[in-house]
Every structure is written in C-alpha cells, then in structure tokens.
Amino acid sequence: MTAASRTPWRRRPIIELILAAIYRALYSPRQLFERMTIFWTDHFNIHIFSDLAFLLKPTDDREVVRAHAMGSFPELLSASAHSPAMLSYLTNDSNVKGAPNENYARELMELHTLGADNGYTENDVKEVARCFTGWAYQGLRAGSSVGRFSFNAGQHDNGEKRVLGRTIAAGGGVSDGERVLEILAGHPNTARFIAEKLLRYFWRYEPRPSAISKVANVYMSTGGDLRAMLRSVLHKSRVGSAKPKLKRPLHLMVSAMRALSAELENPRYLIEQLLITGHLPFDWPPPNGYPDSEGYWSGLVLPRWNFASTLPRRERSGIRTDISLLDPAHSVARLVDTMDAVLFNGTMSAETATELTRFLESGNVNKPRIRDAIGLAVGSPQFQQY
Amino acid sequence: MSDHDCKGCKEYEGLTRRNFVGLTAGLAAAVAVPGWLPRVVYAASESSSRDVIVSIFLRGGADALTLCPPHGEAAYYDLRPGLAIARPDSSAAANARAIDLDGFFGLPQAMRGLKDAFEDGYLAICHATGVKNSSRSHFDAMRFMEVGQGGAPASLQTGWLGRHLQATAPSLKDGILRAVGIGFGLQRTLVGAPQALPIADLANFGLAGPSGSRTRRQDALAEMYAAFDDPLKSSAATTFRTIDVLKKIGFAGYRPSGGAVYPEDEFGYSLRSAAALIRAEVGVEAVAIDLGGWDTHDFQGPVDGHMAYLMESLANGLGAFYRDLFAANCRRFVAVTMSEFGRVAFENGSAGTDHGTGGLMMALGGAVRGGQVLGSWPGLEREQLVDRQDLEVTTDYRDVLWEILDQRLQSPSAKQVFLDGGYRPQAVGLI
C-alpha cells in the first residue's frame, strides 16, 4: 500500500507501535524477552494495516503478546482468542449463529495450536467455528469498555458440538469457545508444534525429532510453561550444536546496531530499509506471520549490503555508531581483530578476515576507509547468519 | 522478446540481446521466490513473441466517474452537482468540459494526455469493472485484485501476474530478471514470480556508499560470497549480474523517442525507466508500478484540484510512454491500469466521494483494440445503482486481465492463473 492510502489518523498509532518495537529491539536489556515478543508477534500475526488493527493491535501487543511472552502458552492463547484485534483480524467478531465464519477456527488450529493438517478435520473446523459464535468486542457506544471483549449470547449457537472427538454439551454459551481453547492447549500436537517452532527459531531450521520430543514433553509436563520450554530449547548442549541460520532483515539491522552501540537519532532511514527488505514490524498481511525460512529471505542481498555500508555514515543513516575503538593509527591486524571482537564475538572466519585485511591494506587507513570496512563486515555473508 | 517487431529497441544504446546473453549465460538462480509458496513446475520451453505487460495499480480507489465521465447520462449530473465533469458542449469553463470520446463517455481535460492514444486506436477503456462481491476496505479490496480472486475470503498469497510468470517459460532463456516491481517491496501482484525483484529506482540499483571505493568494496563482497554457501552465494551472484545488466542500460541517459516528454514526477520517472527497460530487451516480461493518492474523500478537485493533478500525472505519463515506444517501433507491450474499487456515485458533503464499487480499467498497447469504451454500462439511475449508491460491476476485472494474458502473453490457462475453478472468462473485446 502506498503512503497516501494510509490516512494520517490511522498512521499515528501504527508508526508509534512500529517505533516502539524497533526501540525495544535496539535498547531493551531483556533481549530474550524481546526475541520472544517477536516470535509471538509472528505466531499470532495481526496485520497492522488491516481494517481496525491500527486501533486494536497496540492493546493486543501490550496485553496479549508482551504480557504473556514468557508466561504460559494456554494463557497466551486464551488472551489472543479474546483479543479484539484478533477477533477483528480473523473476523471471529462476525461469526454468528446460523452463519458461522470459519476463519478464526481454521487458523486457530492450523497456525496457533495443532499445525496444518495435524489432527483435525474439516468437520472440526466447522464445529469449532460454532463454538465461537457470538464472540465479539464492545463497539464505540460502549463507553469506557469500548474495545473490550464481549459475548453476544443472542448470536451464539447453543446446540451440542463435537470437537476433536469430544462432546461439548448444549447450552455452554461463552464457555464453548473456552473449552475449545483448553482442548487445543492440552493437545500433544500443540506441544510438538510449539516446541518445533521454538527450536527452529532459536536453534536450527530443521530441528531433530528427538529434540522436538524433549521440548514437547516439557510443555506437557508443565502445562505449557514457556520459561521451562526455553530452558530446554536453549540448553547448552543444544546451543553447542546449533546450525547457522540466516538473520531476518530486522535481526540483521538490530544486531549490527547493538554491536556498534548505535544510537538511533532519526528512524526514517531504518524504517525505509525495513520497507525495502519487506520486514517492517506488524506489516505481514496473511495470518501466518513473517516466515522463518532461509529461502524466503535470502533473495534480496543488495539491501543488506546497502544497509551495512550506510549504517556507519550518520549523515545518511540517522544512526550514530560508536567506532572509537577503531583508531586509524592502529595496525590493520589490530583493526581486524577489533572488528572480530565487536561484530563476530571472536568467531570471524578466515575468508572474512582475509578480505577485510586486503581491503584495509589497499590504501591509506583513515576514518572513511574504516567505515567502508565496517560496511563490508556487516555486509559479509558470515554476519548475515547467527 | 527476441524476434518481435521492436526494431528500434535493438539500436538503443548499442545494446543487443546478445550482450546480455553473454553477460548472463549459465545463470539460472531464481531471485526472491518465497520458500513458503507452493512449488509450481515451470514451463519447459522458452518463448519469444509475448507482449511485455506493465501493470499499473491506482491505489486508494480511483473515481471511475471522473476518469471517464458518462456525460450522456442525465443522472450523472444529478448525483454530482459539484463534482461532475461538464458536458463537452456546455457553457462551463473550457478546462471543466469533457473531451468527447463516443457521444456518451468522455475524458476530463486533465486526461487529455491520453487523447491521441485513444483516437489512434491503441487505448481502450473498460467501464464498470472491478471485483464482484468485493469489500469497501482498501486493504481487502486491493488484496482481492492483486491475488486475482473473485472476492471474499482472500485465501491466495501469490499474485495473478506472479502465477502467470510461474506458469510460462521465460521469454529469454538466460535472462536474469523476468519481472520488476517498481517500489519498496514487491507488489503482491508479482509475488510468486520467478526472478522478480522490487527495485525502487532502476537507475540506482547498485552498491550504496562512496563511489570512490565502490569497485573495491564490490570486489571484496564478491570474494566473500563466492567462498560462501548457497543460497547466499548464488543470490549474491545474481545480484551482481543484475547490477551489471541494469548499469549497461544507462537509465540516466535514456533519451525517449518521438519527442516524448515524461512528467517530472515519480510516476513519469517510473514509466520512463520501464520504457528503457523494455527497449533494452533484457528479458523483463512484467513491470508493476503504483500510483497512489486516489482516496478522494474530500476536496476531490476533478478540474483543478487534487484529482486533476493525479489524472495529469497518469495521463501525461502514459501518453509519453505510448509516444516513446511507438516512435521506437516497440509495440509489443500492453499497459493495464486498475484500482481496488470505484467510488460512490453521488458526492458527499465534503466535495469528495466515499468508497464505492464499480471502477474502470484502461489498456494501452500495440494490440489493443482501442478507441472504444467497453463494458456493459449499468446506468446511474437510483434503481440501477448497487445499494442505491454504487456503480455496478458489470465486467469482472479478471476478464480484462485474462484477455491480455491469453491473447498477448501466451498464458496457459485462466484456471492456472486465477486458481478458481468456478471462474469462466468472458470476452471483453479488448484485444
């Protein structure tokens, strides 16, 4: 969408939410927590430019994603199901008796809990949709409770339902949907689905089945305690056997800026780069969230290089980086060592070191050349991975 | 596009297809094909006689009743007392009077840049088109039209043009780039296309930073990536070749033919770049361009205000594009415009119009049966309006697109492009 179609009164909360996400990614001392909020923002994706999301998503971000990012999955799932932003985005608020809307029911099982085609039938989708009939949120006339969850009993289908082989008795009202959430949150396929996704996010693209089982067991034995799961996911035995993953664009930019103690003086350039690379927070239209796959993100390398070479140039990037450790008076070997320590945590590859050395030695070592070298280091294939 | 009648193109900047074949030989890596998309088997043989399609999206919901006013319809003037484009023979100021096209429809003066193309018979307008059963939400309606669906719910992720390119063999066997989306981020229309790149500025597709060190920096990156693993390795190689190809075209020094003058605005610049790209014959088969700002809720200004300015940009840009490519004898192209919806038939209290239904599409190109306003006109009397307020959609927008894809782009089947078993294309008479 062009800027013009994003009318100004909509744009303000959107920009504020996006900037908040960026500033937290850059400056929050709780890095694991922020990584988890990005994970759940994708998992329970809500496109900020859809319908009323510009009004509703900021609350969802605060009261669903951030409130439960390191809490319990069943509570997170329940908060999301009751969230007006989700009710609106997946049109569960127009799911009514006699004319059920299956949108939320389908994505709830496919994307939020069990995983695609993983233990539910088309009939389950229809039955789950019936369970959620009447779920809505307070409109503008509701005074101080505007934008809060509401249940419209008159629009609820009160008949008996059968979900994943279990009977939900007639007359349950709002508890029908809550019962569905309990069934799904307690399902072993949900445990495996969330376990696999967390392992893929933090560890490697193709986690081993034995690792998935281990983390899924933690989910089942703790009732979906996310901290306990993370302890298992990030266990030192696993971190040691991690395979390199491609940083997504936001991750690339934030990791480079954090490494260089950067200060975001003007966010304009960064926002533009996130648009160019297709990774602006909250700007993914379909409900599945930004992909966590190498194939999707590896096609566009030029914007990565251009971000890297522009980043140390404050007048262009609006970003002040601290490169005081890189003194032009130092030897080339020392400069490369410093970049290794600052950007690669001492793991710079021989190829990267060779090329940086050759580049620095190709002329007088001055500040502009050092900035160029930082651009090459951040643009190097090694820095694209984590 | 190897053997087509684009003779003028070949002389352009001494650039021939052979240069590019040599430059890009042996390179087959797809660029930016999202991994989560369903894999499609690409057609096997190359083909050479297709039109290049330029898909232009007017974002915001362009008002069809201003773009092509039905000056022969009395109700139009009742519905739009303050906004209607005056009849060609009225006593209104000259810049407020429609240019007559066929005795019933006209063009506003702001669109006079397209008068020649229409009268020469290469521009056709299809009125009352759009998505049947669409939505009044910009987001949803754009999505329907870009993914190529008939209406709610939008379940597709790839674009209609992306799927067309998936289903057809490249027109240039070793071409590096099949589609370009001009802008930040690929237009949804093109998502799923093999070898498609979003490029904000074709003239500046290259490494940023100081020019003095550019070659050295590019060499260092090339070395590092060549020693690395796929997919980053091949992605970098493709990027370097694309930089070379686009650099050779020399967009900055491009001289349009036929005395064509592109407007000095973003849309004119994009079309000028697209013309240079098409004439360079580097295998680009599709270009997507956006022109935003059509959400005219207030102070629409069809004669000398906001919308007039936008229409001038549109018409002068396309008019220059037509003049340029035709003068270069480069007629194998078709440009098509669309917008997510039209606007309510009557004006609102803020001298503007709200989100409506029926819109309008235009097609410009060497094979277009132009000089006519097509489509079945639903009328503007109250009982003829949808919900008593909107111009009815009488032509499915996919019919227009399909006629172009089928007749000029050798698309295999409407079913493969639109993935809708229930959709039966109807002839529009455009090609």
Residues 6+ apart with CB under 8 A from A151: A134, A135, A136, A173, A174
* Closest-CA residue of chain B to A1: B59
Considering the domain architecture, whether residues B30 and B55 belong to the same structural domain is answered as: yes
Least CB–CB distance from B143: residue in A285, A294, A298 = A285
Chain A CB contacts of B197 below 8 Å: 299-300
Q: Which residues of A7-27 are buried (b: 16+ CB within 10 A; e: fewer)?
A: eeebeebbeebbeebbebbbe
Tell me the per-residue pLDDT of A340-383, one tens digit each, with 9 for 90 and over: 999 999 999 999 999 999 999 999 999 999 999 999 999 999 99
Could you tell me which of B428, B387, B342, B431 has the C-alpha nearest to residue B70?
B342
* Closest-CA residue of chain B to A289: B36
A99 contacts chain B (CB < 8 A): no
The answer to whether A128 touches A114, Cβ cutoff 8 Å, is: no
Considering the domain architecture, whether residues B319 and B298 belong to the same structural domain is answered as: yes
Name the amino acid, one letter, at A276: I
Considering the domain architecture, whether residues B236 and B325 belong to the same structural domain is answered as: no
For residue B247, the distance in angstroms to the closest alpha carbon of chain A comes to: 15
Chain A CB contacts of B157 below 8 Å: 286
Considering the domain architecture, whether residues B79 and B218 belong to the same structural domain is answered as: no
Provide the pLDDT confidence category of residue B1 given band limits of 50, 70 and 90: very low
Tell me the per-residue pLDDT of A39-97, one tens digit each, with 9 for 90 and over: 999 999 999 988 789 999 999 999 999 999 999 999 999 999 999 999 999 989 999 99
Whether B231 is covered by a domain: the verdict is yes
Give dist(CA B311, CA B114) in Å, integer.
10
Cite the beta strand spans of B141-295 per DSSP E. 179-182, 196-199, 286-292
Could you tell me which of B57, B293, B74 has the C-alpha nearest to residue B161?
B57
The conformation of residue A307, written as its DSSP 8-state character, comes to H
Phi-psi region of A117 (alpha: psi -120 to 50; beta: other; left: phi over 0): left
Average pLDDT of the residues in A287-311: 91
Chains A, B: CB contacts within 8 A come to 139
Considering the domain architecture, whether residues B141 and B190 belong to the same structural domain is answered as: yes
Helix (H, G, I), strand (E, B) or coil at A28: coil
Tokens standing for residue B130? 């759009």
A375 contacts chain B (CB < 8 A): yes
User: Beta partners for B355?
Assistant: B343
Residue of B33, B186, B214, B224 best to disrupt the A interface, most CBs of A under 10 A: B224
Chain B CB contacts of A47 below 8 Å: 139
Considering the domain architecture, whether residues B145 and B226 belong to the same structural domain is answered as: no
Considering the domain architecture, whether residues B88 and B158 belong to the same structural domain is answered as: yes
Scan residues 151-190 of A and list those with Cβ closer than 8 Å to B: none
Considering the domain architecture, whether residues B144 and B228 belong to the same structural domain is answered as: no
Least CB–CB distance from A4: residue in B137, B188, B292 = B292
> What is residue B155's predicted lDDT score, i.e. its pLDDT?
72
> What is residue B37's predicted lDDT score, i.e. its pLDDT?
33
Chain A CB contacts of B184 below 8 Å: 272, 275-276
Tell me the per-residue pLDDT of B318-338, one tens digit each, with 9 for 90 and over: 999 999 999 999 999 999 999
Whether B114 is covered by a domain: the verdict is yes
Bridge-based pairing of strands B99-100 and B106-107 is antiparallel
As a whole number, the mean pLDDT across chain A is 94
> What is residue A144's predicted lDDT score, i.e. its pLDDT?
85
For residue B28, the distance in angstroms to the closest alpha carbon of chain A comes to: 13
Whether B318 is covered by a domain: the verdict is yes
Q: Between B331 and A286, where is the model more confident? A: B331
Whether B201 is covered by a domain: the verdict is yes
Give dist(CA B177, CA B175) in Å, integer.
6
Tell me the per-residue pLDDT of A201-213, one tens digit each, with 9 for 90 and over: 999 999 999 999 9
Q: For residue A145, count CB atoms less than 10 angstroms from its CB and return exposed for 0-12, middle for 13-18, buried for 19 or more.
A: exposed
Could you tell me which of A4, A47, A27 has the C-alpha nearest to residue A288?
A47
Whether B336 is covered by a domain: the verdict is no
A291 contacts chain B (CB < 8 A): yes
A313 contacts chain B (CB < 8 A): yes
Q: Are the beta carbons of A299 and B293 separated by less than 8 Å?
A: no
Tokens standing for residue A300? 């566009």
> What is residue B20's predicted lDDT score, i.e. its pLDDT?
28
The answer to whether A211 touches A217, Cβ cutoff 8 Å, is: no
Q: Could you say which of B186, B217, B244 is where a domain stops?
A: B244
Chain A CB contacts of B153 below 8 Å: 103
Which residue range forms the structural domain that includes residue B239?
206-244
Model ipTM over 0.85: yes
Tokens standing for residue A223? 């009732």
Name the amino acid, one letter, at A118: N
Q: Could you say which of B183, B216, B244 is where a domain stops?
A: B244
Residue of A305, A348, A356, A365 best to disrupt the B interface, most CBs of B under 10 A: A305
Residues 6+ apart with CB under 8 A from B262: B256, B268, B269, B271, B272, B316, B317, B320, B321, B324
Q: Are the beta carbons of A381 and B232 separated by less than 8 Å?
A: yes
Whether B423 is covered by a domain: the verdict is no
Number of domains in chain B: 2
Residue B18 clears pLDDT 70, i.e. is over it: no
Give dist(CA B99, CA B89) in Å, integer.
9
Residue with tokens 């340029």: B324
Chain B CB contacts of A368 below 8 Å: 210, 213
Helix (H, G, I), strand (E, B) or coil at B56: strand
Could you tell me which of A300, A365, A299, A310 has the C-alpha nearest to residue A332?
A365
Considering the domain architecture, whether residues B255 and B218 belong to the same structural domain is answered as: no
Could you tell me which of A45, A103, A173, A8 has the C-alpha nearest to residue B152?
A103
Q: Are the beta carbons of A379 and B221 separated by less than 8 Å?
A: yes
Give dist(CA B275, CA B256) in Å, integer.
8
Q: Are the beta carbons of B221 and A4 separated by less than 8 Å?
A: no
Average pLDDT of the residues in A153-168: 97
Least CB–CB distance from A5: residue in B138, B157, B217 = B138
Residue with tokens 């003066």: B109
Alpha carbon separation from B156 to A116, A285, B24, B76, B147 (Å, rounded)? 16, 11, 33, 37, 6
Residue of A11, A302, A311, A361 best to disrupt the B interface, most CBs of B under 10 A: A302
Mutual angle of helices B397-408 and B160-167, in 10-degree steps: 20
A350 contacts chain B (CB < 8 A): no
Provide the pLDDT confidence category of residue B136 given band limits of 50, 70 and 90: confident
Q: Are the beta carbons of A301 and B217 separated by less than 8 Å?
A: no
Give dist(CA B414, CA B132) in Å, integer.
17
Considering the domain architecture, whether residues B233 and B263 belong to the same structural domain is answered as: no
Give dist(CA A281, CA A21) in Å, integer.
7
Preceding omega of B231 cis (within 30 degrees of 0): yes
> What is residue B48's predicted lDDT score, i.e. its pLDDT?
52
Whether B335 is covered by a domain: the verdict is no
Helices (H), A137-208: 175-185, 188-202
The answer to whether A261 touches A30, Cβ cutoff 8 Å, is: no
Least CB–CB distance from A51: residue in B137, B225, B231 = B137
> What is residue A191's predicted lDDT score, i.e. its pLDDT?
98
Least CB–CB distance from A310: residue in B209, B227, B232 = B209
Considering the domain architecture, whether residues B365 and B406 belong to the same structural domain is answered as: yes
Considering the domain architecture, whether residues B305 and B212 belong to the same structural domain is answered as: no
Q: How much is the CA Rg of chain B, to the nearest whole Å? A: 22
Please, what sign has the CA dihedral across residues B86, B87, B89, B94? positive
Provide the pLDDT confidence category of residue A301 given band limits of 50, 70 and 90: very high
The answer to whether A373 touches B221, Cβ cutoff 8 Å, is: no
Whether B39 is covered by a domain: the verdict is no
Give dist(CA A21, CA A263) in Å, integer.
15
The answer to whether B355 touches B341, Cβ cutoff 8 Å, is: yes
